[in-house]
Amino acid sequence: MIKIKNDLPYYIKKAEQNDKYGDGIIAFPDDYVVLDLETTGLCAGRDLIIEFAAVKVEGGQVVDTFQSLCDPGFPIPPAIEAITGITTEMVRNSPNPRSVLPDFLDFVGNSYIVGHNVLFDVRFITASAGTFKNTYIDTMKIFRKLHPSFPHHRLCDMVEYYGKRNDSAHRALSDCLATKECFDALKEDATRLYGDTFKFLTSIK
């Protein structure tokens, strides 16, 4: 279903009914915040955030960034250390996740949220904040819509496909910056393949 708000056309299909989340849409706003979290595991409400990051974009340009490591209060699991490179020693003198959350939410404000598999991050923020109603845009879904036959749709696959760089993969700020670059490429790709982004949105089933 195509809707338009503040001159922004977007496709919306409510995939998950949850009054604690905002709407998940497909759109290409010029102003938004890219966010990414690193966590101690995959279960929001049980596992905790160990790194917050966000990149504020206005008029398509990065204007500000936010990044903070967090101490979950227990040793970081070895598997998470191996994936992220974030060690228990690195976070030892960092604030706990709940004390970082208010500043993070203040940075995000009521912006559109962009992220890769972003519902994962939304669930973790909601588990800590109670609600998180920002409208969110998942670059993984857009990449999948544009290239359904591509074998994988991970952030690393999208970065490689579009020839972008992510020198510190699985560190939150680096992932945010890479996602922003890929979001720009997704918009260009939609325009190239469909003529303009509105025609791409109207093609989605």
List the catalytic residues: 170
User: What is the SS3 assignment for 42?
Assistant: coil
**Residue from 117, 122, 48 nearest 88 by CA:** 48
List the one residue out of 111, 114, 4, 95 whose CA is nearest residue 51: 95
CB 56 within 8 A of CB 107: yes
Q: Locate all alpha helices (DSSP H) within 88-170, ordered by sequence.
A: 97-108, 118-129, 139-146, 155-161
- Specify the length of the chain in residues: 205
Bridge partner list, 39: 49
- Judged by DSSP in three states, 156 sits in helix
What is the rounded distance in angstroms from the CA atom of residue 194 to the CA atom of residue 6?
Answer: 23
